[in-house]
Amino acid sequence: MFNKNKKDKRFEVSVEESNGAHMMQVITDKTTGVQYLLGMYTNMGSGMTVLVDKDGKPLLNPEYS
């Protein structure tokens, strides 16, 4: 059902930080290069947003854009 081959996965986690109460990840869409920030918080839920540059345009990972 799900693609288990890592090289064919569309998204990549490039940065991960955690302090026990929360975890933050930067996720890159390998097709477009667009980067997203995912925050997961104990007992509070989670949220995801696109990262933007100073002009409000999506932040792109140069490796994939």
Structure tokens at 17: 């930080």
Structural domains of the chain, count: 1
> Which range of residues forms the domain containing residue 14?
6-50
Decide if 60 contacts 35 (C-beta within 8 A). Answer: yes
pLDDT one-digit tens code per residue, 9-65:
999 998 888 888 889 999 999 999 999 999 999 888 899 999 999 999 999 999 987
Assess if residue 12 is contained within a domain: yes
**Whole-number Å distance between alpha carbons of 54 and 63:** 20
pLDDT of residue 55: 97
Assess if residue 39 is contained within a domain: yes
Assess if residue 33 is contained within a domain: yes
pLDDT of residue 53: 96
Has residue 1 got a pLDDT over 50? no
| Whether the predicted model's global pTM rises above the 0.85 cut | no
Alpha helices per DSSP H over the chain: none
Residue whose token pair is 């980067």: 35
